[in-house]
Structure 1
């Protein structure tokens, strides 16, 4: 068994013996020097006089670890305490304990200082420990090297001292704040003059707590980023936090990772992902094996300091072939990075089985390689490779750490994008399956439609449209929008569309149909997640040329007259479906032959920059031009969507249903599909 002296690195600990109630019955000279109490003054008194309150009544329970000891003069000393049982009574209860304590001192020969110094003393990271009085009680060698510029790195010196020429107010206040609330302060940039140079440091403050959870002090960590390479690496990681995953698209995120690392970290970067990460692509297992191996990935990201990325054997989206014995497969299976600062191209290496890469490496002068697994939430999502060609310096261990940190952040973004893509594709498939596949307006009305899902983070929504043929050759035109996005909204849309069809076959007027739909939704039988919806329902009678419509919180349709004028009828406003008020009214109008109707959802006219009124005005202008330029309704739908959305990603789902009136017709001229 090791002696206390050997365990504590040669320092003499303060030792006391206490009985089962915590009363002091033994005291050493080292304990007297530590606490200021003579043996005669402390014998018989509770050790609680010196230690923090335990909060437990009854027998004495010793504690171990970092804690405070109150000296006789009122000062507080931070110590590391230990305890060992000595004797047991006849009843089996502990009668006495041996307690030892050694201060977290100034002398780096103590166990705490030696341990810290052995772990981080050789790193260019300045570390120091400050007690609750803001006094420095320990620092490492890197901090000592900064002492000329920051003289507070001195044992016993307090951050409250005023030193001419040193502005220390910000650091002092920050340390006090960390002591007060116990929350760390991470990566705060600081500047100070150091000789003839200005130092740029990243400062972090970490609270130190005792065994009872009380604050003991603060550990400061200062990373010197004054040299350009360190600053570039720090900027790289900061940019990664902002740019990676901004689109929630797997391919875009992979390309962002590749471009971020150029040229700060590497001259050439690739990001290769398995087919499971890229749904909708051709299965790799169907592709034939070549001299380069088997198809294992698809290239999702590539960037180079050279135009056209001549180092890349495959373009984005293409299958990437790798031999079984290659760093890429090793990294994928072992989940450990491949670090080859000097790329070995001699015979017998892995490149012998990969002639294509070998030729490329010789042709481009590639000489240093890092391959890192893209791992998130327990899954390996692919591999990222970093290489140097023009930069003559081989990769260092620091470069490997930066590459791993960068890839870790990217992997989380890729995993988020993967999950979002899967849900979006599922919702989109459900949405398209629930929408009508074939629209028919009969003899009296020509119809056409378009559906455009949003490109924003919310995913597929609950927009829908429908054309329902009714008795007496009448025709119902419907467009609606369920609030929310994703699978739930798409499923709710399907239930609402089915309900509208069922109610339409009851031959209800538009206002009554919406009232019944509102009741069904309010009773929570259609949308269990209590989603709301808007809806426009119109019925056209080709025998009379009359159209009756009603709206439930939905924008009015656009009506283009045979002469090309565009109007929006003043429909009586109605509450959205699901409110339960049932305040719907019908509106009648006459539609002569040649009239066009455009029913749409608000995604077509509303953007973050323009409200509904501005969007309707713009839609009227677009429809007026499209009527003159487009020969068919199909072409007109495409023209309207392109003109309203343009190249910008759609902010919300868009449903557009257009109808051209071919009648009115007499009863004998019409075919009744329900007859």
Structure 2
């Protein structure tokens, strides 16, 4: 507002928004003429002399506006300047006759071209932001320049009015927001410490500095807890990311920080530092390699800031400016603090994710079979592509009675420790259920009941528990191969159909009806399918649709029908390279039939003479199998007790079957459905010790049920013939 009592209001963009009666009297323009116009137009009219009292008008406008007004002739030389007294000493103060662009340090054709185009066309250029090096100022400043023509371009009296507004604070605030926005754009999605560090350097170079280095404490990358400050001098740092011209150490190198440098001091008190690089600085001599790279890069100032959270140090970030870049100032520390604070949270999130992923992967490795021992009738190979994080896929190979083998493949939805734990629970449950000699469909139904109970327990967790909101679902496929009968019974809950390659060259998907997924709380049955598997057939089970006929894996299985299964797995892995977005598990089983001369079947009468007949047949066959006499005696005893128990408590018809595999399996089948149970007979009892004796001399025994009755079996350790 000028001293004569008149007033005007000028917006930041230079438009007049208020015009009093006093201003109208002082300047000679009505409010209708002034309001809405750019203030430069008023200055131009004053300079042109048409508004009257040109010098007084310039002084009045300068007094009430933060802008600097320059009047230029047609040669762009300064004729006059109006400036407010409150403007600082670093603002441009061109002398009369000085060429305008040079007064702002804008030497060169670009700015002169803009000014001359306004002179030619008469079209003003408003709010043109330039970076100016003002004489006497500590660093460059930013000005918004507006060019407005005075007079007619064809008239000798034409010229320009230039309005200059110092917008340094505005530009730097926008620049600050730009850097932070670039940081948020680059950082946030990464769940890897190294990726976060690289994103940090990408966000600040070149927008904020010319060189950026990120060094993190080595254990952070592996998910370890960060140490409390002050950090011990023995702590080693990993150079995680670098962007710039010259690096003192290669990315990936692990080394200690020399004592007595700004970098080591930052890890002591977690305070950022602005450091001027002086050739004789004491700290440079403590780290010759870093000093040499600083010299080669021509760095003249740097800010060293910590990556720290709640008093714990995670690393150090170094921001360098070199060559023609402006030196850092104290005001830049606030921006680096914001940058490092945001980056620290991302680093900590990535560290925690790495830690959980490591724990989950370790847990899963411990829960999975370390070295699965396949029965003699089945060759096994597996291909496991973990994918990101620890998933819930698992497999099992379980030896069952009667030269049978259960192949199990399952997949729990999700990732992390909770998924690995659920996988371990289901795997333990299926082992316990398999020991009951259940049929595959009943086994899967019992497993589904177990999964439903686990899902109910999860749903009952407190609402604040993140696991409570994650539903438990899992798929499972069970295939039981009988090496005596040479067939395989399969059942599945979710997952994809199995794929089989037969020795005659035929192959295809085995259509197994899909049952409900585990923990689906449904009561639908799990239909089983039984197919013949000739000796030499290869069965493939997968947790994804890897073995569909139109996919890349099925032809490789067909081509490798006679190759070792491990080689086939390698070939499949090569074909699936780059497809690591999900966890993939492929279980291959090549079946063999048990030779017919290793099996003896004998029908028995349901009378007392059945036991002697069974003992005699057992002795003859074991002798033919070259079994040791002591083992023959044990087998006779077991067979006698099994047959005697069936005669007394079972129902005809009775059948004895001996199977010589790794052990000798003695089976007695009858038509009764009643379950035998172990009794501890008293000393005065004359019977009741049959199963007790069997349990004492056999490695294992049990009962399995089928459509025609039950089979009681016992395994006796023998030395099979070569």
* Higher Rg: 2
Structure 1 residue 301 corresponds to structure 2 residue 237: no
2:251 corresponding residue in structure 1: 315
Structure 1 residue 447 corresponds to structure 2 residue 380: yes
Give the unaligned 5+ runs of structure 2: 2-8, 21-33, 39-122, 131-165, 460-470, 600-659, 664-699, 701-714, 716-722
Task: Spell out, residue by residue over 1:302-325, the C-alpha distance to the aligned partner (whole angstroms, 9 max, x if none).
Answer: 122x3xxx3232322x21321222
Q: Are the aligned partners of 2:556 and 2:568 in contact in 1 as well (CA < 8 Å)?
A: no
CA distance in 2, matches of 1:486, 1:584: 29
Q: How big is the shift at 1:294?
A: 5.2
Task: Spell out, residue by residue over 1:200-233, the C-alpha distance to the aligned partner (whole angstroms, 9 max, x if none).
Answer: 9xxxxxxxxxxxxxxxxxxxxxx97999876665
CA distance in 2, matches of 1:655, 1:344: 60
2:159 corresponding residue in structure 1: none
Q: Are the aligned partners of 1:471 and 1:672 in contact in 2 as well (CA < 8 Å)?
A: no
Alpha-carbon distance change, 224 to 550 in structure 1, aligned in 2, over 3 angstroms:
farther
1:477 corresponding residue in structure 2: 407
Alpha-carbon distance change, 511 to 624 in structure 1, aligned in 2, over 3 angstroms:
same
1:89 corresponding residue in structure 2: none
Alpha-carbon distance change, 541 to 372 in structure 1, aligned in 2, over 3 angstroms:
same
Alpha-carbon distance change, 365 to 629 in structure 1, aligned in 2, over 3 angstroms:
farther
TM-score by length of 2: 0.57
Superposed counterparts of 1:260-339, under 5 Å: 260-279=203-222, 296-304=236-244, 306=245, 310-316=246-252, 318-339=253-274
Q: Are the aligned partners of 1:465 and 1:656 in contact in 2 as well (CA < 8 Å)?
A: no
Alpha-carbon distance change, 239 to 152 in structure 1, aligned in 2, over 3 angstroms:
farther
Give the unaligned 5+ runs of structure 1: 1-105, 107-142, 155-161, 167-192, 201-222, 606-614
2:553 corresponding residue in structure 1: 622
1:5 corresponding residue in structure 2: none
CA distance in 2, matches of 1:656, 1:354: 53
Task: Spell out, residue by residue over 1:62-84, the C-alpha distance to the aligned partner (whole angstroms, 9 max, x if none).
Answer: xxxxxxxxxxxxxxxxxxxxxxx
Moved more, 363-372 or 630-639: 630-639
- Higher relative CO (Cα under 8 Å, sequence separation at least 6) belongs to 1
Structure 1 residue 359 corresponds to structure 2 residue 301: no
Select the residue among 591, 597, 600 that pairs with 1:661. Answer: 591
Q: How big is the shift at 1:150?
A: 7.8
Structure 1 residue 426 corresponds to structure 2 residue 359: yes
Q: How big is the shift at 1:523?
A: 3.1
CA distance in 2, matches of 1:554, 1:354: 59
CA distance in 2, matches of 1:637, 1:194: 74
Task: Spell out, residue by residue over 1:387-425, the C-alpha distance to the aligned partner (whole angstroms, 9 max, x if none).
Answer: 133444222345433332222221111111011111111
Alpha-carbon distance change, 479 to 663 in structure 1, aligned in 2, over 3 angstroms:
same
Q: Are the aligned partners of 2:15 and 2:35 in contact in 1 as well (CA < 8 Å)?
A: no
Alpha-carbon distance change, 350 to 336 in structure 1, aligned in 2, over 3 angstroms:
same
Q: Are the aligned partners of 2:223 and 2:352 in contact in 1 as well (CA < 8 Å)?
A: no
Select the residue among 512, 519, 540 that pairs with 2:449. Answer: 519
Q: Are the aligned partners of 1:233 and 1:264 in contact in 2 as well (CA < 8 Å)?
A: no
Select the residue among 542, 545, 559 that pairs with 2:486. Answer: 545
2:413 aligns to what SS in structure 1?
A: strand
Superposed counterparts of 1:193-272, under 5 Å: 196-197=126-127, 233-272=176-215
Superposed counterparts of 1:13-28, under 5 Å: none
Superposed counterparts of 1:60-99, under 5 Å: none
Alpha-carbon distance change, 361 to 545 in structure 1, aligned in 2, over 3 angstroms:
same
Q: How big is the shift at 1:330?
A: 1.4
Task: Spell out, residue by residue over 1:114-164, the C-alpha distance to the aligned partner (whole angstroms, 9 max, x if none).
Answer: xxxxxxxxxxxxxxxxxxxxxxxxxxxxx977151484899xxxxxxx975
1:357 aligns to what SS in structure 2?
A: helix
Structure 1 residue 571 corresponds to structure 2 residue 512: yes
Superposed counterparts of 1:108-147, under 5 Å: 146-147=12-13
Aligned length: 449
TM-score by length of 1: 0.60
- Alignment RMSD: 3.6
Q: How big is the shift at 1:264?
A: 2.0
Q: Are the aligned partners of 2:19 and 2:35 in contact in 1 as well (CA < 8 Å)?
A: no
CA distance in 1, matches of 2:550, 2:178: 43
Q: Are the aligned partners of 2:186 and 2:202 in contact in 1 as well (CA < 8 Å)?
A: no
Q: Are the aligned partners of 1:495 and 1:526 in contact in 2 as well (CA < 8 Å)?
A: no
Task: Spell out, residue by residue over 1:486-541, the C-alpha distance to the aligned partner (whole angstroms, 9 max, x if none).
Answer: 11111111111011111112111110001111222323499645622111011001
CA distance in 1, matches of 2:15, 2:506: 77
CA distance in 2, matches of 1:515, 1:232: 63
Q: How big is the shift at 1:479?
A: 0.5
1:401 corresponding residue in structure 2: 334
CA distance in 1, matches of 2:179, 2:368: 46
Structure 1 residue 343 corresponds to structure 2 residue 277: yes
Task: Spell out, residue by residue over 1:162-199, the C-alpha distance to the aligned partner (whole angstroms, 9 max, x if none).
Answer: 97589xxxxxxxxxxxxxxxxxxxxxxxxxx9952368
CA distance in 1, matches of 2:542, 2:504: 22
1:438 aligns to what SS in structure 2?
A: coil
Q: How big is the shift at 1:661?
A: 1.9
Q: How big is the shift at 1:656?
A: 1.8
